Amino acid sequence: MVETLCVVQFPSQQSDSTSLDVPLDLRRFGGSSLLEWIVRRVGDAQQVNQIVVVVGPREATLPVVKLLPQDVTVFMSRAADSLGQIADVVRKFPVDGVVRVSVDNPFVDPELIDRLLVTAEAHSECDYIGYSLGDGRPAIRSRIGFFADLYRAQAILTADHHAANPEDRNDVTRFICAHPEMFRLRLVPAPRELDRQDLRLTVDMGEDWDHIQEIFEALGPESLDWRHIAGLLDRQPVMLKRMANLNRSGA
């Protein structure tokens, strides 16, 4: 039995995005592919035992997948949506639950992943554990970009069976959090410093990529925890204002 399985996944339909001139699977960041960067960052979480990168048939042939560390499992799913892919992982691997990380979040934070896993151990009755913002939204559905979330395996299979709307199937959290009558939810308050409307570190467009590159160049690879990044951005009012405007526009 694998104690903790972390699934790294490309966002649904990312290769068809018109807002990025270079898709995420071809991006390089911090001297490696963006995918490898995410995998190594997740590997810094103390509570993570195994990492699985789930890909579709198209991604499975990419050179970046073949260059991943040998201790990372690559699993190919033929499902066309995020929920179906995660359900395939759950059927393949004997786990009680999974942490999901998306490749469009380069600054997903290992410490915040560990907090989730510690909470999950203390609340084994819960089907979903994630961070929440002050307005009640799951933080993973914001563009803040530091967060992951955790699902019990049976909750994923139940959601896969019942969810039919394409929006539900392409957003793993959406269906589960919309049905508290079916799933036991536990939302952990996000750190106060991150609970704000002017943070945007999820990569969805070219300007987002420019921002994370600027942050990387300012802090270097060793100081990219959420505290250092939030502190840096507090001293970058122009960038914060632009992030806030992008969030308000729904971009």
Answer positive or negative: Cα dihedral of 137, 153, 119, 230.
Answer: negative
**Rounded Cα distance, 84 and 209, in Å:** 28
Cα separation values, 132 from 62, 85, 168, 196, Å: 35, 25, 19, 12
pLDDT at residue number 14: 46
Question: Does the pLDDT value for residue 43 go beyond 50?
Answer: yes
Q: Provide the pLDDT for residue 13.
A: 55
User: And the tokens for 242?
Assistant: 């632009």
Burial 208-221 (b: 16+ CB within 10 A, else e): bbebbeebbeeeee
Q: Convert the pLDDT of each residue in 158-188 to its tens digit.
A: 999 999 999 999 999 999 999 999 999 999 9
Q: Report, as an integer, the average pLDDT of 146-160.
A: 97
pTM: 0.93
Longest dimension (CA), the chain: 49
pLDDT at site 55? 92
Domain extents in the chain: 5-192
pLDDT for 59: 83
**What is d(CA 9, CA 215) in angstroms, rounded to the nearest whole number?**
23
Please determine, for residue 17, whether its predicted confidence score (pLDDT) is greater than 90: no
Q: Is the pLDDT at 130 greater than 80, yes or no?
A: yes
- Which of 83, 61, 77, 63 is CA-nearest to residue 12? 83
pLDDT digits (tens, 9 = 90+) for 93-128: 989 999 999 999 999 999 999 999 999 999 999 999
C-alpha–C-alpha distance, residues 24 and 37, integer Å: 12
CATH of 5-192 given 3.40.630.30, 3.90.550.10, 2.120.10.80, 3.30.70.20: 3.90.550.10
